Amino acid sequence: MAEIATKKRILSGMRPTGKLHLGHLTGALENWVTLQDDYDSYHFVADYHTLTTSLDTADVYENTIEMVMDWLAAGIDPEKSPIFRQSQVKEHTELHLILSMLITKNRLERNPSIKDQVRDLNIENITYGHLGYPVLQAADILMYRANLVPVGEDQLSHVEISREISRSFNNTWGEVFPVPEPKLTSFARLPGLDGIDKKMSKSMGNTVLLSDGPDEVWGKLRKAVTDPQKVRKNDPGRPDVCLVFTYHKKFNPNELDEIRTGCESGDLGCVDCKKKCSAAIDTTLAPHIERRAEYEQDVSRVVDILHQGEEQARKAAGETMGMVREAMKMG
Protein backbone atom coordinates (compact mmCIF):
# COMPACT_ATOMS: atom_id res chain seq x y z
CA MET A 1 0.00 0.00 0.00
CA ALA A 2 1.46 3.37 -1.03
CA GLU A 3 2.37 5.73 1.80
CA ILE A 4 0.28 8.92 1.88
CA ALA A 5 2.43 12.02 1.59
CA THR A 6 2.12 14.43 4.52
CA LYS A 7 2.17 18.15 3.87
CA LYS A 8 4.79 20.17 5.65
CA ARG A 9 3.38 22.60 8.19
CA ILE A 10 3.71 26.39 8.14
CA LEU A 11 2.98 28.88 10.91
CA SER A 12 2.48 32.57 10.14
CA GLY A 13 1.26 35.43 12.28
CA MET A 14 1.02 39.19 12.78
CA ARG A 15 0.46 41.53 15.67
CA PRO A 16 -3.10 42.94 15.61
CA THR A 17 -2.58 46.45 14.28
CA GLY A 18 -5.97 46.96 12.64
CA LYS A 19 -6.48 47.52 8.93
CA LEU A 20 -3.55 46.31 6.81
CA HIS A 21 -1.67 48.11 4.03
CA LEU A 22 -0.01 47.32 0.71
CA GLY A 23 3.21 46.36 2.44
CA HIS A 24 1.38 43.58 4.29
CA LEU A 25 -0.12 42.40 1.01
CA THR A 26 3.16 42.15 -0.90
CA GLY A 27 5.32 41.13 2.05
CA ALA A 28 3.09 38.46 3.59
CA LEU A 29 -0.52 37.94 2.52
CA GLU A 30 0.09 37.07 -1.13
CA ASN A 31 2.66 34.55 0.00
CA TRP A 32 0.34 33.07 2.63
CA VAL A 33 -2.48 32.62 0.13
CA THR A 34 -0.19 30.83 -2.33
CA LEU A 35 1.33 28.56 0.31
CA GLN A 36 -1.95 27.39 1.85
CA ASP A 37 -2.64 25.09 -1.11
CA ASP A 38 0.63 23.21 -0.75
CA TYR A 39 1.21 23.30 2.99
CA ASP A 40 -0.66 22.64 6.21
CA SER A 41 -0.95 26.28 7.27
CA TYR A 42 -1.81 27.87 10.62
CA HIS A 43 -2.31 31.65 10.91
CA PHE A 44 -2.37 33.32 14.30
CA VAL A 45 -3.06 36.77 15.73
CA ALA A 46 -0.05 37.55 17.92
CA ASP A 47 -2.00 39.49 20.54
CA TYR A 48 0.28 38.56 23.46
CA HIS A 49 3.17 40.00 21.47
CA THR A 50 1.60 43.47 21.61
CA LEU A 51 2.40 43.53 25.34
CA THR A 52 6.13 43.47 24.65
CA THR A 53 6.05 47.08 23.42
CA SER A 54 2.78 48.50 24.80
CA LEU A 55 0.49 47.72 27.74
CA ASP A 56 -2.47 49.50 26.13
CA THR A 57 -4.82 46.65 25.20
CA ALA A 58 -8.01 48.71 24.75
CA ASP A 59 -8.07 48.31 20.96
CA VAL A 60 -6.57 44.83 20.61
CA TYR A 61 -9.87 43.04 19.99
CA GLU A 62 -11.16 45.61 17.47
CA ASN A 63 -7.77 45.64 15.72
CA THR A 64 -7.86 41.85 15.58
CA ILE A 65 -11.22 41.82 13.81
CA GLU A 66 -10.09 44.49 11.32
CA MET A 67 -6.89 42.59 10.56
CA VAL A 68 -8.55 39.22 10.17
CA MET A 69 -11.08 40.74 7.76
CA ASP A 70 -8.14 41.76 5.58
CA TRP A 71 -6.67 38.25 5.84
CA LEU A 72 -9.94 36.74 4.69
CA ALA A 73 -10.46 39.31 1.94
CA ALA A 74 -6.93 38.61 0.67
CA GLY A 75 -7.85 34.94 0.22
CA ILE A 76 -6.91 33.10 3.42
CA ASP A 77 -9.31 30.15 3.50
CA PRO A 78 -10.15 29.18 7.12
CA GLU A 79 -11.23 25.73 5.91
CA LYS A 80 -7.62 25.12 4.81
CA SER A 81 -5.81 27.38 7.25
CA PRO A 82 -7.08 27.79 10.83
CA ILE A 83 -7.05 31.40 12.04
CA PHE A 84 -6.78 31.91 15.80
CA ARG A 85 -5.74 34.28 18.56
CA GLN A 86 -2.57 33.42 20.45
CA SER A 87 -4.12 34.48 23.75
CA GLN A 88 -6.94 31.94 23.39
CA VAL A 89 -4.54 28.97 23.33
CA LYS A 90 -3.17 28.87 26.86
CA GLU A 91 -0.52 26.29 26.00
CA HIS A 92 1.50 29.08 24.37
CA THR A 93 2.35 30.52 27.78
CA GLU A 94 3.22 27.10 29.23
CA LEU A 95 5.61 26.24 26.43
CA HIS A 96 7.07 29.75 26.56
CA LEU A 97 7.98 29.19 30.22
CA ILE A 98 9.71 25.89 29.48
CA LEU A 99 11.62 27.22 26.48
CA SER A 100 12.81 30.26 28.42
CA MET A 101 14.99 27.89 30.45
CA LEU A 102 16.90 26.91 27.31
CA ILE A 103 18.38 30.25 26.27
CA THR A 104 20.65 32.75 28.00
CA LYS A 105 20.11 36.44 28.62
CA ASN A 106 23.30 37.22 26.69
CA ARG A 107 22.00 35.38 23.63
CA LEU A 108 18.77 37.37 23.67
CA GLU A 109 20.65 40.64 24.04
CA ARG A 110 22.54 39.82 20.82
CA ASN A 111 19.26 39.76 18.88
CA PRO A 112 19.67 42.64 16.37
CA SER A 113 15.92 43.33 16.24
CA ILE A 114 15.93 44.42 19.88
CA LYS A 115 18.25 47.31 19.10
CA ASP A 116 16.15 48.27 16.07
CA GLN A 117 12.93 48.30 18.08
CA VAL A 118 14.45 50.28 20.93
CA ARG A 119 15.58 52.90 18.41
CA ASP A 120 12.40 52.99 16.29
CA LEU A 121 9.98 53.00 19.23
CA ASN A 122 12.09 55.23 21.52
CA ILE A 123 12.01 52.63 24.29
CA GLU A 124 13.95 53.74 27.38
CA ASN A 125 13.79 50.56 29.44
CA ILE A 126 13.60 47.05 27.98
CA THR A 127 11.23 44.81 29.92
CA TYR A 128 11.81 41.14 30.66
CA GLY A 129 8.97 40.31 28.28
CA HIS A 130 10.35 42.45 25.47
CA LEU A 131 13.82 40.95 25.75
CA GLY A 132 12.30 37.48 25.67
CA TYR A 133 9.77 37.93 22.88
CA PRO A 134 11.82 35.71 20.51
CA VAL A 135 11.27 32.91 23.05
CA LEU A 136 7.51 33.46 22.91
CA GLN A 137 7.83 33.46 19.14
CA ALA A 138 9.69 30.16 19.35
CA ALA A 139 6.85 28.77 21.46
CA ASP A 140 4.35 29.92 18.82
CA ILE A 141 6.29 28.13 16.07
CA LEU A 142 7.19 24.96 17.94
CA MET A 143 3.71 24.58 19.44
CA TYR A 144 2.41 23.57 16.01
CA ARG A 145 5.62 21.69 15.17
CA ALA A 146 6.02 23.90 12.12
CA ASN A 147 8.55 22.91 9.48
CA LEU A 148 8.63 26.29 7.74
CA VAL A 149 8.16 29.91 8.79
CA PRO A 150 7.48 32.48 6.02
CA VAL A 151 9.51 35.57 6.89
CA GLY A 152 11.28 38.55 5.42
CA GLU A 153 15.03 38.88 5.74
CA ASP A 154 14.63 41.13 8.79
CA GLN A 155 13.03 38.23 10.69
CA LEU A 156 15.73 35.63 10.01
CA SER A 157 17.37 36.24 13.38
CA HIS A 158 14.13 35.29 15.16
CA VAL A 159 13.81 32.03 13.28
CA GLU A 160 17.43 31.25 14.12
CA ILE A 161 16.62 31.60 17.83
CA SER A 162 13.68 29.22 17.37
CA ARG A 163 16.00 26.76 15.64
CA GLU A 164 18.51 26.95 18.49
CA ILE A 165 15.80 26.43 21.12
CA SER A 166 14.25 23.46 19.28
CA ARG A 167 17.65 21.77 19.05
CA SER A 168 18.33 22.49 22.72
CA PHE A 169 15.01 20.95 23.79
CA ASN A 170 15.56 17.88 21.62
CA ASN A 171 19.11 17.41 22.91
CA THR A 172 18.01 17.81 26.52
CA TRP A 173 14.81 15.76 26.68
CA GLY A 174 14.39 13.92 23.37
CA GLU A 175 13.19 14.50 19.83
CA VAL A 176 9.89 16.37 19.95
CA PHE A 177 10.23 19.37 17.66
CA PRO A 178 11.20 19.74 14.01
CA VAL A 179 13.94 22.34 13.53
CA PRO A 180 12.00 25.05 11.64
CA GLU A 181 13.38 26.48 8.42
CA PRO A 182 12.81 30.08 7.27
CA LYS A 183 10.94 30.47 3.99
CA LEU A 184 11.80 33.87 2.53
CA THR A 185 9.00 35.84 0.91
CA SER A 186 9.28 36.27 -2.83
CA PHE A 187 8.72 40.07 -3.01
CA ALA A 188 10.80 42.64 -1.22
CA ARG A 189 9.31 44.93 1.42
CA LEU A 190 7.28 47.71 -0.24
CA PRO A 191 8.60 51.15 0.72
CA GLY A 192 6.38 53.83 2.25
CA LEU A 193 5.02 56.87 0.45
CA ASP A 194 7.67 59.13 2.00
CA GLY A 195 10.76 57.56 0.48
CA ILE A 196 12.22 54.61 -1.38
CA ASP A 197 14.41 53.65 1.60
CA LYS A 198 11.65 53.82 4.21
CA LYS A 199 9.37 50.93 5.08
CA MET A 200 5.60 51.23 4.86
CA SER A 201 4.22 51.64 8.36
CA LYS A 202 0.98 53.05 9.76
CA SER A 203 2.87 54.56 12.67
CA MET A 204 4.84 56.62 10.14
CA GLY A 205 1.70 57.67 8.23
CA ASN A 206 3.08 56.55 4.86
CA THR A 207 0.71 53.75 3.87
CA VAL A 208 -1.98 52.85 1.36
CA LEU A 209 -4.51 50.66 3.16
CA LEU A 210 -5.98 47.58 1.51
CA SER A 211 -9.40 49.07 2.27
CA ASP A 212 -8.69 52.45 0.62
CA GLY A 213 -10.98 53.37 -2.27
CA PRO A 214 -9.88 55.21 -5.45
CA ASP A 215 -10.20 58.70 -3.97
CA GLU A 216 -8.16 57.74 -0.92
CA VAL A 217 -5.49 56.00 -2.99
CA TRP A 218 -5.10 58.99 -5.30
CA GLY A 219 -5.12 61.45 -2.40
CA LYS A 220 -2.18 59.60 -0.86
CA LEU A 221 -0.26 58.77 -4.02
CA ARG A 222 -0.33 62.31 -5.40
CA LYS A 223 1.80 63.35 -2.41
CA ALA A 224 4.28 60.48 -2.80
CA VAL A 225 7.98 61.24 -3.06
CA THR A 226 9.49 61.01 -6.57
CA ASP A 227 12.86 61.70 -8.17
CA PRO A 228 14.01 65.04 -6.62
CA GLN A 229 15.82 65.93 -9.85
CA LYS A 230 12.62 65.75 -11.92
CA VAL A 231 11.08 69.10 -11.02
CA ARG A 232 9.08 69.82 -14.21
CA LYS A 233 7.29 67.49 -16.62
CA ASN A 234 9.89 67.73 -19.40
CA ASP A 235 12.82 67.08 -17.06
CA PRO A 236 14.38 63.64 -17.63
CA GLY A 237 13.74 61.35 -14.68
CA ARG A 238 15.50 58.44 -13.00
CA PRO A 239 12.95 55.65 -12.52
CA ASP A 240 15.27 53.52 -10.39
CA VAL A 241 15.36 56.13 -7.62
CA CYS A 242 11.65 56.90 -7.85
CA LEU A 243 9.28 55.47 -5.27
CA VAL A 244 6.32 55.49 -7.66
CA PHE A 245 8.23 53.44 -10.22
CA THR A 246 8.82 50.85 -7.49
CA TYR A 247 5.03 50.61 -7.12
CA HIS A 248 4.64 50.30 -10.89
CA LYS A 249 6.96 47.27 -10.80
CA LYS A 250 4.54 45.50 -8.50
CA PHE A 251 1.11 46.75 -9.55
CA ASN A 252 1.56 47.79 -13.17
CA PRO A 253 4.18 45.51 -14.76
CA ASN A 254 2.57 45.55 -18.24
CA GLU A 255 3.30 49.26 -18.71
CA LEU A 256 6.71 49.22 -17.05
CA ASP A 257 8.83 49.66 -20.20
CA GLU A 258 6.61 52.45 -21.49
CA ILE A 259 6.73 54.27 -18.14
CA ARG A 260 10.50 53.93 -17.88
CA THR A 261 10.97 55.34 -21.39
CA GLY A 262 8.53 58.20 -20.80
CA CYS A 263 10.13 59.11 -17.47
CA GLU A 264 13.72 59.03 -18.76
CA SER A 265 12.82 61.10 -21.83
CA GLY A 266 10.75 63.61 -19.90
CA ASP A 267 7.62 62.90 -21.95
CA LEU A 268 5.82 61.46 -18.92
CA GLY A 269 5.28 63.87 -16.04
CA CYS A 270 5.10 62.81 -12.42
CA VAL A 271 1.39 63.63 -12.07
CA ASP A 272 0.41 61.45 -15.03
CA CYS A 273 2.76 58.72 -13.82
CA LYS A 274 1.11 58.78 -10.40
CA LYS A 275 -2.36 58.64 -11.98
CA LYS A 276 -1.38 55.50 -13.89
CA CYS A 277 0.00 53.95 -10.72
CA SER A 278 -3.05 54.92 -8.68
CA ALA A 279 -5.34 53.30 -11.27
CA ALA A 280 -3.27 50.10 -11.22
CA ILE A 281 -3.44 49.94 -7.41
CA ASP A 282 -7.22 50.49 -7.57
CA THR A 283 -7.52 47.51 -9.92
CA THR A 284 -5.57 45.36 -7.48
CA LEU A 285 -7.60 46.47 -4.46
CA ALA A 286 -11.10 46.38 -5.98
CA PRO A 287 -11.78 42.65 -5.41
CA HIS A 288 -10.23 42.86 -1.93
CA ILE A 289 -12.51 45.75 -0.97
CA GLU A 290 -15.54 43.91 -2.33
CA ARG A 291 -14.78 40.76 -0.33
CA ARG A 292 -13.98 42.77 2.78
CA ALA A 293 -17.35 44.53 2.60
CA GLU A 294 -19.09 41.17 2.97
CA TYR A 295 -17.36 40.59 6.31
CA GLU A 296 -17.91 44.18 7.43
CA GLN A 297 -21.65 43.59 6.98
CA ASP A 298 -21.54 40.41 9.08
CA VAL A 299 -18.74 40.61 11.65
CA SER A 300 -20.15 37.56 13.44
CA ARG A 301 -18.73 35.46 10.58
CA VAL A 302 -15.25 36.66 11.50
CA VAL A 303 -15.81 35.86 15.18
CA ASP A 304 -17.08 32.37 14.29
CA ILE A 305 -14.02 31.77 12.10
CA LEU A 306 -11.76 32.73 15.00
CA HIS A 307 -13.59 30.44 17.42
CA GLN A 308 -13.41 27.51 15.01
CA GLY A 309 -9.72 28.13 14.38
CA GLU A 310 -9.05 28.34 18.10
CA GLU A 311 -10.66 24.95 18.66
CA GLN A 312 -8.37 23.43 16.04
CA ALA A 313 -5.34 25.23 17.46
CA ARG A 314 -6.09 24.09 21.01
CA LYS A 315 -6.33 20.50 19.83
CA ALA A 316 -2.95 20.69 18.07
CA ALA A 317 -1.39 22.50 21.03
CA GLY A 318 -2.71 19.92 23.47
CA GLU A 319 -1.12 17.14 21.46
CA THR A 320 2.22 18.95 21.41
CA MET A 321 2.22 19.66 25.14
CA GLY A 322 1.40 16.01 25.79
CA MET A 323 4.56 15.10 23.88
CA VAL A 324 6.55 17.75 25.75
CA ARG A 325 5.45 16.55 29.20
CA GLU A 326 6.12 12.93 28.28
CA ALA A 327 9.61 13.75 27.03
CA MET A 328 10.34 15.73 30.20
CA LYS A 329 8.89 12.96 32.41
CA MET A 330 6.45 15.52 33.79
CA GLY A 331 3.28 14.00 32.38
Edge-to-edge strands, sheet with 83-85: 83-85, 40-45, 9-14, 148-151, 181-184
Q: Facing residues of 278 across strands?
A: none
Are the beta carbons of 86 and 312 closer than 8 angstroms?
A: no
Are the beta carbons of 139 and 89 closer than 8 angstroms?
A: no
Q: What is the pLDDT of residues 206-246, one digit of tens each?
A: 999 999 999 999 999 999 989 888 888 888 999 999 999 99
- Domains of the chain: residue spans and CATH: 9-190+298-327 (3.40.50.620), 212-292 (1.10.240.10)
Q: What is the pLDDT of residues 32-85, one digit of tens each?
A: 999 999 999 999 999 999 998 889 999 999 999 999 999 999 999 999 999 999
Mean pLDDT of all residues belonging to the chain: 92
Q: Is 105 exposed, middle or buried (0-12, 13-18, 19+ CB in 10 A)?
A: exposed
Q: What is the pTM of this model?
A: 0.92
